[in-house]
């Protein structure tokens, strides 16, 4: 069940109706929990057992950690939680990848090993809810959070349907306190929630799927035939597509939750207006980047007094972040490329910050464009069907081959959308989306919503799942 479907709209209307019945708060939370499991079961019902297993394990492991009097006992229960969650993730997400690479490794030593092809289906959203549930156990272990007494609340925290399958990855300290008292959106919250849902769908259905996805798909599917304009326009199209797709989902999730009275954190803050890659990762997929910072980078040693150790910590965090996105070496390389950018930035930033150039608007805007250009190069490895296709597209970018895959009109379409996206992100670097939206007169806001609804009603295109469902 996806947000951009009639099934979800009917489902959500029923959830809202039940949520406003004059029932006790406990019953309403039970209804939301049931709705969340039904929402997840719409993809593959048996995988709800994995979700339940992770929930039960982490709830009881956190309680055992808190009750343990010895450090050995605390570590044991933490390892149980880590072992089960990461074990399930390894089997379902990385099982085939690990087996394939083990076979290739044996072949290097002359050992012919032909295993049975594993028939493993990737549970949708497993990376998201695994990290979310694990953060609770880790916070209890680090004594930053006490075990939550209500299993119902915790189960709803892990499975809350608006953000279950593609984030934002919510922390227990942000969500669980909202479960104590009855939640019901006031008129202002409800109207803003509906607005976010509509605008999120426009980003997904119109901008990502209708205008950009067909172009990027065409170029990346025929990478070996691409000319220089094909390669650049296809990459720009994908950079816009993945933002509108993922930010569209996050916007829908935040809006849907707000209609029910729950507040979820922002997941994007104008990432294509970033100046440098440290700034980018503070704006892109914020819930994941902050998770990796708090539960991986800092425990590794973070910003160590030894520069070499800091650089190793940065690179290792980004490599694991790349692997989180998918079981393929191209994702690892994508993470490593981001790590390399961060290493160079870490080495150069002290000198730059001390110079007068750092305060120049022209220099800062130029650095933002450079950041975006380098970022687009990383998207090639993220999207391409393997390294050979990625390298071919990069070579095409510096070739003099004419465009053969896209028309002049499509080039203008992608360039226009890309320039508008960059300008909007630069404009709202220091502003929230809500502030920008509220700055327009009410007539303009109303017109935007009406036009958005009309566009959604008349649009026709592929019924595409959100890109990050595969992660």
Catalytic residue numbers, as ranges: 325
| Gap between the Cα atoms of 89 and 51, Å rounded | 12
* Residue 115: exposure state from Cβ atoms within 10 A (0-12, 13-18, ≥19): exposed
Nearest Cα to Cα of residue 292 among 339, 253, 248: 339
For the chain, the straight-line distance linking the first and the last C-alpha, in angstroms and rounded, comes to 16
What is the residue-wise DSSP string for 104-115? HHHHHTT----P
Task: Check: CB of residue 364 under 8 Å from CB of residue 275.
Answer: yes
Q: In 10 A of CB 80, how many CB atoms?
A: 17
Neighbour-count burial of 31, counting CB atoms closer than 10 A to its CB (0-12 exposed, 13-18 middle, 19+ buried)? middle
Backbone angles phi, psi at 43, to 5 degrees: -85, -55
Cβ–Cβ under 8 Å, residues 226 and 404: yes
Whole-angstrom distance, CA of residue 65 vs CA of residue 147: 9
Find out whether 417 and 212 touch, Cβ atoms under 8 Å. yes
């Amino acid at each position: 069940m996806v947000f951009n479907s009639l099934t979800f709209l009917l489902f959500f209307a029923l959830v809202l109706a039940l949520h406003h019945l004059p029932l006790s708060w406990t019953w309403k939370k039970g209804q939301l929990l049931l709705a969340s499991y039904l929402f997840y079961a719409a993809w593959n019902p048996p995988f709800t057992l994995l979700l339940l297993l992770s929930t039960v394990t982490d709830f009881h492991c956190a309680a055992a950690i808190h009750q343990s009097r010895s450090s050995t006992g605390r570590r044991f229960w933490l390892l149980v939680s880590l072992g089960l969650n990461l074990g399930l993730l390894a089997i379902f997400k990385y099982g085939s990848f690990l087996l394939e690479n083990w076979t290739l490794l044996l072949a290097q030593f002359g050992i012919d090993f032909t295993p049975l092809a594993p028939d493993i289906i990737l549970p949708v959203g497993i990376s998201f809810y695994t990290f979310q549930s694990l953060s609770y156990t880790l916070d209890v272990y680090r004594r930053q959070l006490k075990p939550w007494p209500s299993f119902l609340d915790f189960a709803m925290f892990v499975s809350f349907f608006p953000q279950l399958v593609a984030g934002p990855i919510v922390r227990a300290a942000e969500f669980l306190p909202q479960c104590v008292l009855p939640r019901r959106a006031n008129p202002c919250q409800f109207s803003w929630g509906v607005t976010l849902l509509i605008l999120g769908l426009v980003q997904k259905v119109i901008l990502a799927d209708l205008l950009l996805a067909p172009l990027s798909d065409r170029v990346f599917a025929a990478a070996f035939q691409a000319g220089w304009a094909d390669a650049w326009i296809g990459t720009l199209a994908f950079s816009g597509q993945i933002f509108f797709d993922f930010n569209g989902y996050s916007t829908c999730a935040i809006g849907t939750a707000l209609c029910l009275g729950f507040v979820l954190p922002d997941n994007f803050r104008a990432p294509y207006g970033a100046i440098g890659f440290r700034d980018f990762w503070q704006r892109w997929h914020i819930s994941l980047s902050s998770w990796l910072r708090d539960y991986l980078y800092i425990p590794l040693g973070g910003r160590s007094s030894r520069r070499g150790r800091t650089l190793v910590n940065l690179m290792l965090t980004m490599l694991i972040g790349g692997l989180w996105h998918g079981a393929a070496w191209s994702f690892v390389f994508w993470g490593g490329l981001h790590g390399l950018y961060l290493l160079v930035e870490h080495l150069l930033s002290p000198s730059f910050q001390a110079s007068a150039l750092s305060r120049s608007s022209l220099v800062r805007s130029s650095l933002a464009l450079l950041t975006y250009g380098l970022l687009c190069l990383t998207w090639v490895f993220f999207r391409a069907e393997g390294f050979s296709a990625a390298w071919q597209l990069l070579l095409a970018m510096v070739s003099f081959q004419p465009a053969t895959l896209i028309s002049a009109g499509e080039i203008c379409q992608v360039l226009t959308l890309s320039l508008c996206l960059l300008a909007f992100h630069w404009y709202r670097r220091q502003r929230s989306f809500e502030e920008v939206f509220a700055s327009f007169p009410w007539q303009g806001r109303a017109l935007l919503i009406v036009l958005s609804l009309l566009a959604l009603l008349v649009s026709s295109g592929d019924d595409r799942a959100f890109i990050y469902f595969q992660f």
